[in-house]
Structure 1
Amino acid sequence: MLDFVLELKPIYQVIIATLFTWGMTALGAALVFTTKTFNQKYLDAMLGFAGGVMIAASFWSLLSPALEMAEGGKIPSWAQVAVGFLMGGAFLFAVDKLLPHLHPNAPMNSAEGIRPKERKRSTLLVLAITLHNIPEGLAIGVSFGAFAIGSPSASLAGALALAIGIGIQNIPEGAAVSMPLLRDGYSRKKSFIFGQFSGMVEPISAIIGFLAVAFIEPLLPFALAFAAGAMIFVVAEEVIPSSQEEGNKDLAVMSLMVGFTIMMILDVALG
């Protein structure tokens, strides 16, 4: 399988990887076809797991390689990475304030962004998970871009490990949209369509990240750190609070630990 992927052009590798992560979002959304009642504890555990995967991916797949790539430059390696990390968080902060969205499990009166009350609940939930998927897609695109330009700190196996980890945590993200909509009275079909739709942004943002580093190689450490900062902002502002809103704090925290451990093993073993 790895040999087949190696033979593909890098841009096709990115597309296939993000189609996989989109498919995993659809898999999570498809849970609406198996049950009408969904255990809230299970959903909170999955969200916590997703947060753990994203935190581990931010360090092992993004920040650590970024620091290695920045060594030997005209400025200290930590400076470029620190600026990129903070700017990634600032970018998602701005998007969070502008994009109307609603956290999973949250009531309509807590919707955020510009004029959220003018939007349907389904649209707000989809936009919330779309917000999660922007940095995830960027991270995948930048990782494959680093491999494409021959960076010694990057590998195809590492990029694939990142895509697999993000794909796994996309399952609860798809369910986090579709299951609340089903409870709100939407049909199974509509709930599934809205749930999987949130994953569409990953291929788009991945291609943007890939092209950015493929054509501007010195940008690579900054781009990796930028994606990491964006992911950490999403975890702290969206994923962790959503996993604990229903009172399942201990379960969510332990699930986060498990998610972090699995992503760390994936990255170290494959990368």
Structure 2
Amino acid sequence: MIDQVIAYFETIDPILAALYATIFTWFLTALGAALVFFFKTMNRAVLDGMLGFTGGVMVAASFWSLLAPGIEMSPGEGFIRVIPAAVGFLLGAVFLYGLDKILPHLHINFKESEGIKTPWHRTTLLILAITMHNIPEGLAVGVLFGGVASGFEGATIGGAVALALGIGLQNFPEGFAVAMPLRRQRLSRTKSWLYGQASALVEPIAGVLGAWAVLTFEPILPYALSFAAGAMIFVVVEEVIPETQQDKFTDIATMGFIGGFIIMMALDVGLG
């Protein structure tokens, strides 16, 4: 099945491939958010485990799918070769740092709001937070598909499909983790699902833009891959991991992180 998917993506336009892949990641977010129709509450241990899994996938994807290929395809030797990855990684983190300080948003626990002060409803702020997190995920998938089409060594269709699959897997629990807090805010199940899945609609947009940018400006690929990695690591360290430390289930979150890392690593090595 996976081999057939890879073969199909090899035959279509890379921008279209990026669109299809990120629609898949959005779909799994929507599927996860749909669990709100079947559950009344979310156990905190389950939430922490899910968030830990999300963090593990994102960290593994940042290295195996983005940073390592970015370094491999960079010119030069020694310290010169790592410059594009270092610069891109820093810029990605700075980009998310800027969004974090400017864009009004609210953490999943509904206790801490960040960004510019605004009268917007708490529900809107939570959706903006998750939307902000999904930008680097969609960008990473699109950039990798664009790199394959540009013929860069180290970028493969299998690796791009593995990344999309890994992002999709962690989007499933993320969708549930967004929809349930909205339900606790007394939104209807339908509205909780609609808002939960809407947070991932930015991924197809970012994916298409990422693929287009790499195809248009080929030399930026090592920087673009590392940019996406830096943005993803910023999200994990600044948002995901601290959220798992709010209660007594830190060990569950840690094991979820380990599991997510192993699965993403296996997908990338096995398919890439």
Compute the TM-score of the two structures, normalised by the length of structure 1.
0.96
2:247 corresponds in structure 1 to 246
Q: Does 1:111 align with 2:113?
A: yes
Distance 2:139 2:248 in 1: 32
Of 168-177 and 21-30, more deviation after overlay is shown by 168-177
Residue 134 of structure 1 aligns with an amino acid whose one-letter code is I
Distance across 1 between alignment mates of 2:79 and 2:246: 43
AA in 1 matched with 2:177: A
- The answer on whether the counterparts of 1:105 and 1:246 sit within 8 Å (CA) in structure 2 is no
The answer to whether the aligner puts 1:76 opposite 2:80 as a matched pair is: yes
**Counterpart pick for 1:29 among 14, 29, 33:** 33
- State the distance in 1 between where 2:235 and 2:78 align: 31
Paired positions, count = 268
Q: Give, in whole Å, the separation in 2 of the partners of 1:237 and 1:75.
A: 28
8 Å contact from structure 2 (residues 72, 153) kept in 1: no
Cα distance in structure 1, aligned partners of 2:193 and 2:217? 39
Structure 2: distance between partners of 1:58 and 1:124: 26
Classify 1:31/1:9 alpha carbon distance in 2 versus 1 (closer, same or farther; 3 Å): same
1:7 and 2:11 are equivalent in the alignment? yes
AA paired with 1:185? R
- SS state of the match for residue 70, structure 1? coil
Q: Can you give the 5+ residue segments of structure 2 that lack an aligned partner in the other structure?
A: none
> Aligned equivalents of 1:171 and 1:124: distance in 2?
21
Q: Which amino acid aligns with 1:257?
A: I
Query: Which structure 2 residues correspond to residues 1-271 of structure 1 after superposition, within 5 A?
Result: 1=4, 2-72=6-76, 76-107=80-111, 110-116=112-118, 118-271=119-272
Cα distance in 2, alignment partners of residues 165 and 27 from structure 1: 15
AA paired with 2:116?
A: I
Identity of aligned residues (%): 56
CA distance in 2, matches of 1:42, 1:23: 21
CA distance in 2, matches of 1:72, 1:153: 15
Deviations 1:137-161 (A, max 9, x none): 1100110011011112111010000
| Contact 2:110-2:122 at 8 Å conserved across structures | no
Task: Give SS of 2:200's match.
Answer: helix
Q: SS at 1:7's partner residue? A: coil
Which shifted more, 74-83 or 13-22?
A: 74-83
What residue identity is the alignment partner of 1:56? A
- Answer whether contact 2:52 2:256 (CA < 8 A) is retained: yes
Task: Quote the RMSD (CA, aligned, Å).
Answer: 1.4
